Structures are given as C-alpha cells and as structure tokens.
Amino acid sequence: MVTWVAAALIAAGGAFFTAGLVGLLRFPDVYARIHAVTKADTLGLGLVALGVALVQPSPVHSARVLLVWILAALASGAAGHLLCRAAWLEEVEAGKRDTS
C-alpha cells in the first residue's frame, strides 16, 4: 500500500513539473514565467521527495530526502527573487511578450 501511495505522489510531482514547464513556455513575460517555474517545481519536488521518503528503509534516509527538498525550496525562492530583481533593474515590462 505504501508503494502505491509513493508512486501516486511521485506521479503527481511529475505532473506539477510538467505544469511548470508549460508555464515557462506559454506565459507572456519573465515575471509570470519565473513564478510558474518556482511555484510548480517546488511543489512538484516536494511531492516527489515525500513519495521517495515513504519508501526509504529508515527514518534517517527519509529525513535526508526531506532536507534536500527544504534546501531546494529555499534556493528556488532565492533564485526566483534574484531573477525578478535583475529583470526589474533592467526595466523589463510586465505583460510584454519576450521576443528573444
């Protein structure tokens, strides 16, 4: 039963990764794209990490997997902030489609 729940969590995480990719490709401006990637990928990685943690042989291994997710979530937020700040300093307009 635990294996099925883990597989479902990992599949749901993959779906969120796919949604983030679609947002990255389809949204019109840099701010929306960064938002889509940071939010969807953080949640997708959280679901995958939770699924993997469920099938680990010991609680120590599960804690390591969840620690990796926490660090990735913090890094994703910081990277998203830095990218948006760089776009803002370059005076990239919101809502304008990037043609590059």
User: Is residue 100 domain-resident?
Assistant: no
pLDDT digits (tens, 9 = 90+) for 7-29: 999 999 999 999 999 999 999 88
**CA dist., res. 75 & res. 34, Å (int):** 13
User: Is residue 38 domain-resident?
Assistant: yes
User: Is residue 98 domain-resident?
Assistant: no
Q: Rounded to 5 degrees, what angle do the CA atoms 39, 44, 49 make?
A: 130
User: Is residue 49 domain-resident?
Assistant: yes
User: Is residue 55 domain-resident?
Assistant: yes
In this predicted structure, the answer to whether residue 97 has a pLDDT above a threshold of 70 is no
User: Is residue 94 domain-resident?
Assistant: no
Domain boundaries, position 26: 2-89
Instruction: Count up the domains in the chain and report the number.
Output: 1
Give mean pLDDT, residues 27-45: 90
- pTM for the full predicted model: 0.82
User: Is residue 82 domain-resident?
Assistant: yes
